[in-house]
Amino acid sequence: MRRFALFLALWPALYAQQAADVLKTVQNAYTGLKSVHIAATRTDTVIAGALVSEASADYELMEAPGGKYLARIRNGNVESVAVSDGSTMWKALPRQKRWAKIEAAGVADDEDAEANASSDEQPQDLYSSVDRVLIRRYPALIGVAQGAELGKEETLKVGGAKIRCQIVRLQAGPSLHELWIDEQRGFVLQHRQTSRRQLASGATATVQIVTKLKQLDVSGDFGEQAFTFEPERGWKQEDMLVLPGEGQMLLTGQRAADFALKSLEGEQFELSSLRGKVVVLDFWATWCGPCRRELPIVDKLRVAFGDRVQFLGINDEDSGTVRGFLKKNPYGITVLMDSKGSVHRTYGVHSIPTLLVIGPDGVIRQHFVGGREEKELQQAITSALGQM
């Protein structure tokens, strides 16, 4: 009898540990993910008394190392597509037969804060929006989970295969989350989030968001053709195309956020200490083709403007990779190491190269996304110098 009583006393703790172990497999699955093709349907339902409204959207993400991705959202009669082969990005609105080509490489955030992972605030670009819904939210969500509990096991059908799932319930902030987790691989195959929301009318509504996977492939065997885009005949090419839900992400006219980073040589740099000078921030990476093409231009301008302008390259790779690159390509630009990606996130950098020209008053005078010719960059810097 005493043994049975002890077992009953320990049962809640053992049960909680089992839930924690299952969630650990989820973190490991998404943290180690390099290549993936995932498709899902997300349904948002709002219930306010007798009134019920529902909206559904289809999400698709194919991703491979080197900044390659295909992101797609279908929402009613609107379809948005973004594609990157690591050097070039394409955006398209297929049903409107409009598209744009951008000479920039796509980059992904290494991590999302819980506020971004569980709130209704949407990222600025299509790739980040899709990535957030299908992948990045789960490590962040589990990082703040409270009171995780195991539920019953259940079998789901995904891509024609029947997969045994362990259901875990957890609380994160004001929302209750239920995760159907693949017992073998640790991926979330279904996710139901329930919360309460105050409507503009003053009424309180129940909001339920259900995400169901239709396809999951982590083999990485997608082929290069998957990450290229070819418009159909009769489509209109635009100089710039802002997809539904995106912001233009242009920071021109805004005051540059302060930051402190160390250079490749270990010297500390604070942006605020450079007030009174024109500063050029160049976000780049060694693997980025457009960056490699633009770096010689930036370095040439650095020499031409001399001490009048401070050129800073912002890089989020490991220092050994950067040193090896600069040994073969001895550019004189000061490289600041943003290993945690904090400055990239502060400035909303999702594509590289991104170059900012900051005036002596700390206001961003020009914001370029994608490679630019020497004349255009020179004019932007000269204009900023005219503010002195």
Closest CA to 265 of 323, 338, 318: 323
* Residue extents of the structural domains in the chain: 19-237, 260-385
Question: Per CATH, is 19-237 categorized as 3.40.50?
Answer: no
Q: What is the pLDDT of residue 372?
A: 86
How much is the pTM? 0.68
Q: Express each pLDDT in 99-127 by its tens digit.
A: 988 766 655 544 443 334 444 444 467 88
Please state which CATH class domain 260-385 belongs to: alpha beta
User: What's the rounded Cα separation, in Å, for the pair 238 and 102?
Assistant: 10
Ranges assigned E (strand) in 49-110: 51-64, 68-75, 78-85, 89-93, 98-102, 105-106
Q: Express each pLDDT in 243-290 by its tens digit.
A: 876 654 567 777 888 999 999 999 999 999 999 999 999 999 999 999
Region 214-240 average pLDDT: 90
Tell me the HSE value of 299 on the side-chain side, using a 13 A CA sphere: 15
Q: Is 249 helix (H, G, I), strand (E, B) or coil?
A: coil
